[in-house]
Structure 1
């Protein structure tokens, strides 16, 4: 079980001068995420990871990201796409901008471009369980069971606390095993 100190770190350690996928706190958070069996604790750790991923180190970029997320939640995907694309032009090394644009592209049904942006996300942050889960979902919708299984398995290896992914992974494994009989 993860110590109270790690939870304190997750909740109260202030943002450094930079954050994002190269933040040094992530290594310990990812270790804690895989080590814990406590669901509430896992959600706190996962939330801390997402908070770091969403913090670019630039107030302008952070504002644009939050506005893009707001547009996504309002179903204004065209505006979100423009903002995330602009962030990528400003800071092409910011993995979460690629991930958010991949999400918008997915919502727009442009799976090929979404997969491409997921690739950029994973180049910058190979531990991005959200991108891997999204990739699995795309492959699942495309009836590409083999690649869906691989993506879901990778996501679960990094974050074993993804209930929807866990359920779908078991379903696909069962379907695969029935075909092999």
Structure 2
């Protein structure tokens, strides 16, 4: 029973995130780590062909990974390297230190959400993704992560909505488009 209550709380939190970030994308302020050029690149991304979309995606993510502090960038790099090695404990240590010192740096929260997800802690991952989206509402990678978690929690309607939000920001995001196609029969079948 306690596990079901915990799962329900996660779902309610995710639903709140999805509804909050369903607001029109134009005119939003971008969170820290986005640089002056990111809003323009995001607008271009919405109109880009596949080749330009891939280039813009790399450029946007590069901007998001820049904290403005060499020390914080090093913590992010070490956290990412630990995560890639499969050392989730060390990754969480580096990323928690990063967040403690730079709480307004969205990418630190995003990478820690990935670490929590790998550690099978969906509630903590969702909490970190919520913080990412507060700081940077256009962070399509965070929305994608939220969608993946909702799908794993067997909430296809919420996952579908989050994947759809990813595509409003990054229409060439193939994994989100594939997920929409996969979930569409489930979601449409539930709506009568």
Q: Name the TM-score class by shorter chain.
A: 0.7 to 0.9
Aligned counterpart in structure 1 of residue 122 of structure 2, from 100, 111, 114 = 111
Higher deviation after alignment, 75-84 or 146-155: 146-155
Q: In the TM superposition, what are the counterparts of 1:142-181 in structure 2 within 5 Å?
A: 142-180=153-191
Return structure 1 stretches of 4+ with deviation > 2 angstroms. Answer: 19-22, 178-181
Q: Which runs of 5+ in 1 are unaligned?
A: 1-18
Offset of residue 21 of structure 1: 3.1
Aligned to 1:132: 143
Q: CA deviation at 1:60?
A: 0.5
Q: Does 1:32 align with 2:44?
A: yes
TM-score by length of 1: 0.86
Q: TM-score, normalised by structure 2?
A: 0.81
Q: CA RMSD in A?
A: 1.4
Alignment of 1:74-89 (within 5 A): 74-89=85-100
Q: How many residues align?
A: 162
Residue ranges of structure 2 left out of the alignment (5+ in a row): 1-30
